[in-house]
Structure 1
Amino acid sequence: MTNTLALAARLRAMPDESIVHVLHERAIRRAGISDFFDLADALLDREAVQRALSGLDRTRLAVLVVLGRASTPMDAREVAAALAGSPATPGITPIAAQEALDAVSGLILAHPDSGAFSAYEAVTAQLAAWPSIHLPSPDVLLAEPAPAALAAVPDTERRFTDRLAAERAFDAVTAVSELIAELFREGARELQKGGLALPASKRIAGALAVDVSIVPTVFSVASRAGLVALEDALWLPTDAASAWQHTPTADRWRALAASWQDALPDDLRGILSSRSRAAWGDSLREYVAWLYPAGRAFAEERVDAYTRDAEWLGITAQQAPSSAGSALVESGPDAAAAVVRELFPAEVDKVYLQHDLTIVAPGPLDPAIDGRLRGMADVESRALASTFRMSAATIDRAITGGETAESIHAFLAEISLTGVPQPLDYLVRDAAERYGRVRVRAIDGDGRMRSAVVSADLTLLTTIEVDQSLSALGLVRAAEDRLESRFARDVVFWAISDARYPVAAEDADGSVEALRRQRVAHPRVAERADQEAELVARLREADATADESTGEQWLTRQLDLAIRARQLVVVEVAMPDGRVVDYLLEPTGVGGGRLRGRDRAADIERTLPLSSVRGLRPAD
C-alpha cells in the first residue's frame, strides 16, 4: 500500500496536462491547496476517494480490493490470476486486468511502480469502511456474481417488435421534422431555470401532434443530433437542420440514431452491446445496479435517459431491441439504416389536389417535395398520409419567399395526380395579382432606421392603420398613401404578413425583395477559464520558486508527512567521502536544519543534517 508521500512525489513528476486531466475527472476540494502535498491530501481525502469509487464498475473495484490486500505491487497477470476464480470476475484476462489497472491508476486510486501497481492506503481503508455506509464489503464485491442475462428475444416476438419499432422510428423522424419547421416559424424561449415555458411547450406539442410530456424527448433527440440549439435563450434550428430535412426518411433516422449511439458513455455502450438481442428493461437495470454498487442511482438514471430515447426512436420496442436496434449497437448506424429502410413505407412524389383547396399526400412525401409544398401551404394533419391546405395567406408567403404564380402552378401540376382544380388555379392567380398592394420600405429618420407602409389602396391602408392586432407597430399617418413606424422594415413586414395582408417588402431601389423568415442558431461556446489548469500552473510555479531557493522546503514537507503517518522512509544521505548511504528511518522530528529519527536497522536514534539529505522515498 502507498500513501500521500508517494503520491506527492508522483504528482510532482507528472506532466501538467496529465494532472489537469485527473482534476477534470476527480471532484476534490480546492481550498487550501498550495503545493503538491496539499493536492495529494485532497485527492486522498475520504470524501474525494468515495466520490471516485462511486463511479467505478465492479471489475475496477475488484482490482482495487486485490491490490489493497497484496503486500507488494502486482502486475496485470498477477491481478488476473487473483481475480480469475472470483464469482464477480470469472475468467478475467490479463488484458482486461491491465485496462482496469490503467483506469484506476489514471484516477489516482492506485500507484504505478515499474509496471506493477499498489492501492493507496486511503482507497483500501475506504473500501473496508463500505459496510458502515450500507455498501458491499470487499468480500461481497468479489463474491457476488452478475445477474443472469435474459434469453434472446424469439423470432416471433421480434417480428412484432420490428413492426412497432418501425412505426415509432417513422413517428420520431416526423416529430423532429415538425419541430424544426415550427422553430423556423417561431423560436421557443428557454426558461432561466431550464426547460420550456408551458405556453411554448403546448404550442410545440400542438404543432407536433404529440402529448406535452413528449416535447422534452423530442428536443433532447434533436439537440443531440445538432439540429436545434439555444442562442440567447431561444431554441432555433441550426444550419444542419435544412440539409437534414431534405434527406430521405431512413437517412434522417440514421442521423438521429447515430447521435444517440455517439452520446453513449463507453461503459453503457459496452453493456448495451452485450445485450443487443435480449430485453433491456428490468434485467438491464438489475445488471447496472450490480455493476455500479456505489453509484447505482446515477447509473440507473443514465440508463433510463438513454433507454427512454431508444424506445422513442424505435431502437427498442417495449424494452426489446428491434432488428435495427441490434444492428445499431453491433454494427453501427449504416447497418441499422439499411434495416429501417426496408421497414419504412415508400416515399411518394405525387399528391391529390382537391376542389376544397386541400392537398392529400397518399404516403410519406419525398423530402424535397414536402419542403417546397410547406412553403405554399399549411400542414393540417401529419401522418403516413398528410393533408395540406392552401389559402391566400400561404400563397402570399410563397411569393414572399421567391415563388411566382407561374412557378406555383407548374409545381402543383407536376406533382398532382388529379390536375390543378379550377378553384385552386383561381386562388393562385388572384393572390399573385393582389400581392404587393401594400409595400413596406426602410426610411432614415433622425439618424435612425424606420419604416414606411405605402399603398395606392387607401381603404386597405386605413384598415391596416386601425387594425388592433398591429397596434404595437405604432403606425401613424404621414401622408394620404403612407403610414410610418419606428420599427425596422422586416419587423413591420412580418407583422403585417402575419395579419394576412397582401404585403411586399421593397429594397433600397424600390424593387420587391423576397424575404425569408428562417433564423438559425449559431450557438457560441462559452469560454470558461480552466480552473484546474490554473491550479496546476500555480503549483508548478510555487514548486519552481522553492527549487531555485532551496530544496529543503520539499524535503521538509515530505518528512512532516512521514512523521504524522509514522511511516518508515529510506533517507539517502551524502557522506563526507562522497558516498551516498541509505538509512531506514522512522522520522520523529525536523528542526534547526536537522532530521531526527529512529534507525530501524541499527535500532538507534540518529540526527542528520538536512543539507546532507539527497532524497527520500517510502520504505517498501
Structure 2
Amino acid sequence: MVRVSVSTLTEWLRERDDAALARLLGARPDLATPIPADTSVLATRAGSRASVARAAESLDTFTLTVLDALLLCDADTRPVTLAEVAAMLGTKVPRKRVREALDTLAELALVWGPDDALSVVPSAREAAGMFPGGLGRRSAELDGRDLTAVIAELSEPERKVLATLAEGQPTGRSRDANVIVPLEQAETPVQKLLARGLLLRLDAETVELPRQVGLALRGAHPMGQVKVNPPPVQTTAHKLSTVDATAAGEAMELIRHTEKLIALWSGEPPAVLRAGGLGVRDIRRLARELQADEVRCTLIAELALGAGLVIATDTSTPQWAPTTQADVWLAATPPHRWATLASVWLDLPRLPGLAGSKDLRDKVIAPLSEELRRPLAPASRRRVLDALGEFEPGTGVDSPDDLAGLLAWRAPRRGGRLRDDLVFWTIREAQALGLVAFGALTSAARALIEDGPAVAAKNMADAMPQPVDHVLVQADLTVVAPGPLEQTLGHEINLVADVESAGGATVYRISEASIRRALDAGRTSTDLHELFRTRSRTPVPQSLTYMIDDVARRHGQLRGGAAMSFLRCDDEALLAEVAASPAGARLELRKIAPGVLVSPVPLADVLEELRGAGFAPSAEDSDGRLMDLRPSGVRVPLRQRPKPAGVPRTASPEQLADLVSAMRAGDKAAGTRRGRTVALAGGGGADTSATLALLQEAVTQGRNVHIGYVDANGTASQRVIEPIRVGAGVVEGLDSTRSETHRFALHRITAVSLVEDS
C-alpha cells in the first residue's frame, strides 16, 4: 500500500475514513463539543494546547516517551522518519512497540503522516513540559563539536557533575553559576564547565545541561532507560467462593454499621458545622458507638449522605438527620441494602479518603463537607476496579503498591498528587464494602460494574449466609445468633437486646434497659416470654424469666401523654360549655384536671376555631403572659444549589456517526463553487422571501444549493443539499451523498447559494 504524504493535520484528517474519525471523537470527546463544522475546525481543536494536554492524560508511559522522542527529533517543526524516532529511543526498544505507540498517537490525532514524514501537533511541546525525555535545550555553540572527545578530557569531578544532570533533570542549582569566568580563572567544576560551554547559565544559581551533551553522555540510550512494558504485579490465586464469602461478611458488617448510624442520628442528630460537614467530636462519638475507626465511620457517613439516607436539615440550626428514604432502605432485604450502598459508592463524586487531611489553607477537611467533592472520583475508582477485573476471578493483588505502580505506568499524567493515594483509598473502601477481598474482585463486584445493582444484589445474596430462624439463649443472659437472623426475628432481638460483639455469630446482651426498651415499644411480658420460648434452641434460663417479669411489673406505673395545646379557665361552667360545643368536639378537647382542657390540635388552630364559634380566648406563654399568634406570612424554603456537572458521557456510535456525517457535509460545502447568493446583510437570517424563491428555483431546475444553517442549539453549519420540496416554512432536501433526507426551518437559514458545476 502506497502512503501519500500530507502536509497538514487538516488534510490528513480529511483523508481518514469515517470509522477513524468516529474513534477520534470518541477518544477525545472535547473535540465534538460544539459540533465541528468541518475537518478544518476539528484539526484546529485537536491542535489546541488544552485538548492535547487532556489527550496526553490517557497515554501510558511508553507512548509518552515515544511522543517525547518525536519532539526531540523536532517533529513539531519538520517531518521526521520512523528510523529517527527509533534511533532516539535506543537500540533495545523493539521497533514493533514503537509502531504500536505511533498508531495510538495517530488514533488520537497527536501524530500524523506516513513513516517517512511523521509530524506532531505544535502544542504537544507545550503539553510535554520544558524537558522532553529529561534532556535540556539545544546549544548552537556545540553544533559540530566532537563532544565525546571533549568529555573524555574532563576531570573526574567535572564528569560527575555532567553525569548527574544527564541521569535526571537537566537543571541544577549551584552558587558557582553566579558569574561566568574564563577557563584559566575557573576554580570549581561548574565554573569550568560553564567556561567550556558544556553547561548553560540560566540565572545566578541555576545551570542547564545542553541537549547535545546529554545525548553524548547517554550514548546508546538517548532517552535513558525506557520503560517499554508495565511493571509486574504479584498476584495470588484464591478460591472464588472464599473471596465471595469473606466479602459477604464485610458487607453484612457495613449494613449493620449503617443501621446503627441511622439509629444514633435518629435519636440525637449531630450539628452541621458552620462551614459545612461533620464535627470532630461527632465523628469520634460515632466511632465509639460503632466500635470502628474514624476512617470507616467517615466512609459510612458519606455513603449514607450519597444514598439520601441522611441529609442536612433546613432549620435555623442545621443537623444531620435521617430521611424518609432511610425507612425504605431499612425495610429492604440485606442484599438490596448492600447493593444500594455499593452502587452509590461506585458513582460517588466525593473522596472520603481526603477527610482528616488539610486543605491549602492548612485547615482540616471535615467529613460530609464540600471540600470532599471531586467530580472525577468515580472515574478513578473504576480505573482501579477495572484493573483488578483484568485478572482471573479469584486472583488477587498481593500489594496495593504493585497496582499503584501499574496504573501509574498506564497513565502517569492522570490523578495529580493524589494518584497513588486514590488507589489505596479505593481498595480500602472496596474491601469495607465487600467488593474486594484478598485483593481480588468479588462476583458481586463484577456484576455491579457490568450488569448493575439488581444482578449484584443477587450475587451477594448467594454469597451471604442463609438467614437463621433461631437463637441460643445463654445462662449469662447473652443471646447468640449463629448467623444472620431473619428480618422479623432480627428486629425483635435488636429491640430486646444490645449487640455485644458482631461477626459470623453475633452475641447480644439482655439487660433491664433493653427489656424496658422492648416494653416501651409496645411489647408485653407475655410477648417476650413467647419470643424466647419459640425461637431459642436452648432452654430459657430462669434468671431471664424473672428479669422480664420484674421489669414488666414496674413498667408503666407512671404514664405520660401527648397534647399540642391546652385551655385553662377559672370558670368551670364556661370550660364545660366550650368542651360540649361542636367546636370542642372538632378540637377533641379533653379535661385532665379542674379548669384544664387539652387538645391534640395546635394552639393557633384551637384559638381560631373557638373564635369562630363565638368564644374569645387568648394565648399565653409559659409565664402566663399574653402573646400574639398571628401568622407572620408565607415562608418559602431555600432551594438547594444545583450540583456541578460530572464527567460528560461518551457519545454513542450512532451519535459519533452523525458527527462525522455533519463534518463531511461541511467539507463538501466548503469546497463548492457558489453562484447567486441570498443572505441578510446584517449577518442574521436570510431574507425569507428571497430564500424561498431561490430554493424553489433550485427545485425546478434540479440544482444543488449551499446553505448556512443555525440549529436550535445555536450551532452554525454549512451544508450542500438538493432541495426536493419547499413549503410550510421548511425545506426538504437530499444531502450531498443522496442517502438521507433532511428538513431545515427557513427562518434558521442564514444564507443560500446556487452551486456552480465544477
Q: Alpha carbons of 1:203 and 1:298: their partners in 2 closer, same or farther (altered >3 Å)? A: closer
SS for the counterpart of 2:413 is coil
Q: Alpha carbons of 1:288 and 1:327: their partners in 2 closer, same or farther (altered >3 Å)? A: same
Which of 131, 154, 176 is matched with 2:237 structurally?
154
SS for the counterpart of 1:434 is coil
CA contact (8 A) 1:355 1:424 kept: no
SS for the counterpart of 2:563 is strand
Q: Establish whether residue 438 from structure 1 lines up as the match of residue 543 from structure 2.
A: no
Q: Alpha carbons of 1:125 and 1:237: their partners in 2 closer, same or farther (altered >3 Å)? A: same
Tell me how far apart the structure 2 counterparts of residues 215 and 25 of structure 1 sit (CA, whole Å).
41
Letter in 2 for 1:121: P
SS for the counterpart of 1:363 is coil
Q: Establish whether residue 304 from structure 1 lines up as the match of residue 424 from structure 2.
A: yes
- CA drift at 1:197: 2.0
Q: Establish whether residue 385 from structure 1 lines up as the match of residue 506 from structure 2.
A: yes
Name the residue aligned to 2:284: 202
SS for the counterpart of 1:150 is coil
Aligned counterparts, 1:148-547, within 5 A:
148-150=231-233, 152-155=235-238, 164-193=246-275, 195-232=277-314, 234-263=319-348, 264-265=378-379, 267-275=383-391, 277-279=395-397, 281-295=400-414, 296-321=416-441, 325=445, 340-341=460-461, 343-352=463-472, 359-383=479-503, 384-389=505-510, 391=512, 395=516, 399=520, 401=521, 411=531, 413-417=533-537, 418=539, 421-427=544-550, 429-430=552-553, 433-434=556-557, 437-443=559-565, 525-527=640-642
Seq. identity, %: 24
CA contact (8 A) 1:147 1:287 kept: yes
Tell me how far apart the structure 1 counterparts of residues 46 and 638 of structure 2 sit (CA, whole Å).
36
Q: Alpha carbons of 1:433 and 1:350: their partners in 2 closer, same or farther (altered >3 Å)? A: same
Q: Alpha carbons of 1:198 and 1:152: their partners in 2 closer, same or farther (altered >3 Å)? A: closer
CA contact (8 A) 1:150 1:278 kept: no
Which of 60, 78, 87 is matched with 2:97 structurally?
87
SS for the counterpart of 2:506 is coil
Tell me how far apart the structure 2 counterparts of residues 414 and 523 of structure 1 sit (CA, whole Å).
53
Tell me how far apart the structure 1 counterparts of residues 529 and 281 of structure 2 sit (CA, whole Å).
38
Tell me how far apart the structure 2 counterparts of residues 155 and 274 of structure 1 sit (CA, whole Å).
15
Superposed CA offset, 1:506-535 (max 9, x none): xxxxxxxxxxxxxxxx997523799xxxxx
Tell me how far apart the structure 1 counterparts of residues 308 and 488 of structure 2 sit (CA, whole Å).
21
Name the residue aligned to 2:630: none
CA contact (8 A) 1:409 1:428 kept: no
- Give the number of aligned pairs: 428
Q: Alpha carbons of 1:523 and 1:320: their partners in 2 closer, same or farther (altered >3 Å)? A: farther
The structure with the largest helix share of the pair is 1
- CA drift at 1:323: 5.9
Tell me how far apart the structure 2 counterparts of residues 222 and 245 of structure 1 sit (CA, whole Å).
12
Q: Alpha carbons of 1:269 and 1:155: their partners in 2 closer, same or farther (altered >3 Å)? A: closer
Tell me how far apart the structure 2 counterparts of residues 238 and 144 of structure 1 sit (CA, whole Å).
52
Tell me how far apart the structure 2 counterparts of residues 481 and 419 of structure 1 sit (CA, whole Å).
51
Tell me how far apart the structure 1 counterparts of residues 545 and 279 of structure 2 sit (CA, whole Å).
44
Name the residue aligned to 2:733: none
- CA drift at 1:309: 0.5
Letter in 2 for 1:527: P
Tell me how far apart the structure 1 counterparts of residues 469 and 98 of structure 2 sit (CA, whole Å).
57
CA contact (8 A) 2:238 2:396 kept: no
- CA drift at 1:278: 4.3
Letter in 2 for 1:87: R
Letter in 2 for 1:257: A
- CA drift at 1:128: 6.1
Q: What is the TM-score of this pair, normalised by structure 2?
A: 0.43
Superposed CA offset, 1:572-595 (max 9, x none): xxxxxxxxxxxxxxxxxxxxxxxx
- CA drift at 1:387: 0.5
Tell me how far apart the structure 2 counterparts of residues 388 and 395 of structure 1 sit (CA, whole Å).
13
Letter in 2 for 1:285: A
- CA drift at 1:285: 0.6
Aligned counterparts, 1:97-112, within 5 A:
100=108
- CA drift at 1:268: 4.4
CA contact (8 A) 2:519 2:552 kept: no
SS for the counterpart of 2:341 is helix
Superposed CA offset, 1:412-469 (max 9, x none): 555344469532542564355436x2234221689xxxxxxxxxxxxxxxxxxxxxxx
Letter in 2 for 1:58: D
Tell me how far apart the structure 1 counterparts of residues 554 and 386 of structure 2 sit (CA, whole Å).
59
Name the residue aligned to 1:599: none
Letter in 2 for 1:366: E
SS for the counterpart of 1:153 is strand
Tell me how far apart the structure 2 counterparts of residues 385 and 171 of structure 1 sit (CA, whole Å).
11
Q: Establish whether residue 126 from structure 1 lines up as the match of residue 208 from structure 2.
A: no
- CA drift at 1:223: 3.8
Tell me how far apart the structure 1 counterparts of residues 252 and 530 of structure 2 sit (CA, whole Å).
30
Superposed CA offset, 1:193-248 (max 9, x none): 55532321222112212123431122234444444444455333344433433444
Q: Alpha carbons of 1:385 and 1:247: their partners in 2 closer, same or farther (altered >3 Å)? A: same
CA contact (8 A) 1:43 1:49 kept: yes
- CA drift at 1:286: 0.7
Aligned counterparts, 1:555-570, within 5 A:
none
SS for the counterpart of 1:387 is strand
Letter in 2 for 1:173: I
CA contact (8 A) 1:166 1:344 kept: yes
Moved more, 261-270 or 288-297: 261-270
Tell me how far apart the structure 1 counterparts of residues 519 and 99 of structure 2 sit (CA, whole Å).
65
Name the residue aligned to 1:52: 54
SS for the counterpart of 1:179 is helix
**Structure 1 unpaired stretches of 5+:** 4-17, 27-39, 74-82, 105-109, 112-116, 447-477, 490-521, 531-546, 552-613, 615-620
Q: C-alpha root-mean-square deviation of aligned residues, in Å?
A: 6.1
